[in-house]
Structure 1
Amino acid sequence: MLARIFPDRFVPILLATILLASLLPVRGAAVPVAQGVSTAAIVLLFFLNGVRLPRHEVLHGIRNWKLQGSAFLFCFGAMALLGLGAQLATAPLLPATLALGFLFLGILPSTVQSATAASSLAGGNVAASVVAAALLNLSGVIASPLLFAALAGSAGAIHGEAALRIVAILLLPFIAGQFVQRWLRPWVLAHKGLATIMDRTAIAVAVYVAFSAAVVAGIWDQLDGREIGVVFAAVVALLMLSFGGAWLFGRLLGLARPDRITLLFSGAQKSIAVGAPLAATLFPPAIAGMVLVPILVYHMAQLIISAWIAPVLNRPAHGVVLE
């Protein structure tokens, strides 16, 4: 029953992380230590991403410019506008930093592993999905902060220190991973299970530290049942618009069905793996946890929805065809 409710095992891990941060948040002298551990985990996460991404696949995937271009436009264009719209719609009903989280959600890149896995399960273009997710994440390290700064106004101003942290914690480890992948990539591919555990542990640590600061700052005292309901309603609306919009966008472009499936998951999914580290670099700890709430809810919901609809998309022979 749990497998049907939570098809992706990372969903209960995130739920457990939020519960742990709510019950046992990091306090006092332990905060700098926890932040140091979180930063080290984030550096390791992006280093491993650099090791895994083969350069020749990137060059090959770029040739499918129609699919890659449409994925980029939808992920950073349409989704950013949807996030901005959600922020404006919820601003009168939610605390300002929580409403800002919807814009932050919109400017994030796609997931990597889950988007590729969903595309494979749905019968999509798996090779193009790998490249699309990788290119979106690589672009997102630079594009996401710039988009946020452009759309958020004074709330999204990126100071020099934050820019340096983005380069040092996200971009440089990825580049270092690219340089050493010749030697380390075979080992990482031979130990995929261990690499996945390291990935998810790094994300969970970043979420735990950020959400702990929000709990200490009184996030549960600031939010009541009505406001939590508004967050869930806004996330449901975003999911419908993002998944439906990505599918229709692929149809308007005349993409082949496998490419439309790739666009669906690469364009509509959003990455907590980039969101949590980026929030930690852009915002003070107490604010970062509040800003992360929409992407946490969206990320868990998209994993469940993707696992539900992917098998349906892959059953045209039984009359289940989504046009």
Structure 2
Amino acid sequence: MQSLVKRLNLDPYMLALVSMVVLASFFPAQGIWAQIADRATDVAIALLFFLHGAKLSREAVIAGAKAWKLHLATMAITFVLFPILGLGLRAIPGLDANLGTGLLFLTLLPSTVQSSIAFTAIAGGNVAAAVCGASFSNLAGIFVTPLLTALFITGQSQGISADPVIAIASQLLLPFVAGHLLRPVIGGFVTRHKKMVGYVDRGSILLVVYTAFGAAVLDGLWQTVTLGELALIVVIALALLAVVMTATNLLGRAMGFAREDRIVMLFCGSKKSLASGVPLAGVLFPAAQVGVVILPVMFFHQIQLMVCAVLARRYAAESAELEAKGEAASA
């Protein structure tokens, strides 16, 4: 089975996410099991952000913080350009209202951390700046994403309530701060057991996806979302990524950034975090709505990984060619 997955170039984690959707579609948690799943999900989300806080290295942040113009430009792409595009996407005629909300919510999310740094490293970019920029984006997302969600989504229909603020503080911010404060004590353990921490990280997301889709299925998800709408989401996600990557490249050149920093902007600015998006959606939206809202996030997540993998290899080849030319010139 593993060899088949490798031959088909499939992402095992994406397959696991799809499996959770299928499982929730046929066997959603109900009754007492739904209550148990909800409590387990709350614990999983808190643990997820606790580990995020424990993994955040102050040294890496300080080392990369010098490139403040780069970080401001990247944050502007993440939290200004993307939301502007999201407001336009939500207004597409004939699109299901909840899917439109999901598209807008997607554009309000912070950048990824691990994959942004990994792709930057492969492409020959400024890794220290990528670590700093991705970490800043995720930290800012704990505050900025709920605020933007309240302004553009929930605030329009419900009024801005204190409930999401309390939920964010108790489920996300406090565990994150606690994990970071305990980093001197548990940082070594987290670093030595990256694989185990990764399983906890991904397992938490899988649990949230299962409970979210289970609640949505019981509320009639597959009676309201059609295959045509799912195909439309894929097309929109591809177009959104293309527009943002083009704008990012043009902005980086206009601001006179070096090639290594433009690579950081590309891979940190154009990405959206599934790891942050799923638990944030679970906190910010009603349980029955979460499953539909995170559908665009899941599609965009997979598309961005495939596109960025191709671009990273292309940049790596260009970096090797430039290095070879430099060595030949100095010889």
TM-score by length of 2: 0.91
Matched, 1:132 2:133: yes
**Residue number in structure 2 paired with 1:159:** 161
**Residue number in structure 2 paired with 1:286:** 288
Taking the aligned partners of 1:102 and 1:182, their CA distance within structure 2 comes to 39
**Residue number in structure 2 paired with 1:299:** 301
**Residue number in structure 2 paired with 1:208:** 210
Compared with structure 1, are the counterparts of its residues 210 and 157 closer, same or farther at alpha carbon in structure 2 (3 Å cutoff)? farther
How many equivalent residue pairs? 317
Taking the aligned partners of 1:7 and 1:256, their CA distance within structure 2 comes to 34
Deviation at 1:226, TM superposition (A): 2.1
Compared with structure 1, are the counterparts of its residues 79 and 199 closer, same or farther at alpha carbon in structure 2 (3 Å cutoff)? same
Deviation at 1:253, TM superposition (A): 1.5
- Aligned 8 A contact 1:93 1:230 in 2: no
Percent of counterpart pairs with the same letter?
38
* Alignment RMSD (CA, Å): 1.7
Deviation at 1:7, TM superposition (A): 6.0
- Aligned 8 A contact 2:5 2:11 in 1: no
Matched, 1:2 2:5: yes
Deviation at 1:151, TM superposition (A): 2.4
- Aligned 8 A contact 1:80 1:103 in 2: yes
- Aligned 8 A contact 1:8 1:304 in 2: no
Q: What 5-or-longer segments of structure 2 have no aligned partner?
A: 323-331
Q: What 5-or-longer segments of structure 1 have no aligned partner?
A: none
Matched residue type, 1:182: P
Taking the aligned partners of 1:81 and 1:62, their CA distance within structure 2 comes to 27
Deviation at 1:111, TM superposition (A): 0.6
Taking the aligned partners of 2:164 and 2:124, their CA distance within structure 1 comes to 40
**Residue number in structure 2 paired with 1:271:** 273
Taking the aligned partners of 1:48 and 1:93, their CA distance within structure 2 comes to 41
- Partner residue of 1:11 out of 2, 10, 14: 14
> Equivalent residue of 1:255, what SS?
coil
Instruction: Name the stretch that deviates more: 13-22 or 99-108.
Output: 13-22
Stretches (4+) displaced over 3 A: 1-9, 155-158
**Residue number in structure 2 paired with 1:97:** 98
Matched, 1:150 2:151: yes
Taking the aligned partners of 1:156 and 1:119, their CA distance within structure 2 comes to 40
Deviation at 1:142, TM superposition (A): 0.3
Deviation at 1:5, TM superposition (A): 5.1
- Aligned 8 A contact 2:63 2:128 in 1: no
Taking the aligned partners of 2:67 and 2:253, their CA distance within structure 1 comes to 16
Deviation at 1:306, TM superposition (A): 1.5
- Aligned 8 A contact 1:158 1:282 in 2: no
Taking the aligned partners of 2:198 and 2:130, their CA distance within structure 1 comes to 18
**Residue number in structure 2 paired with 1:60:** 63
> Equivalent residue of 2:294, what SS?
helix
Taking the aligned partners of 1:138 and 1:123, their CA distance within structure 2 comes to 25
**Residue number in structure 2 paired with 1:191:** 193
- Partner residue of 2:85 out of 70, 82, 85: 82
Compared with structure 1, are the counterparts of its residues 155 and 101 closer, same or farther at alpha carbon in structure 2 (3 Å cutoff)? farther
Instruction: Name the stretch that deviates more: 13-22 or 213-222.
Output: 13-22
> Equivalent residue of 2:256, what SS?
coil
Matched residue type, 1:88: A
Matched residue type, 1:150: L
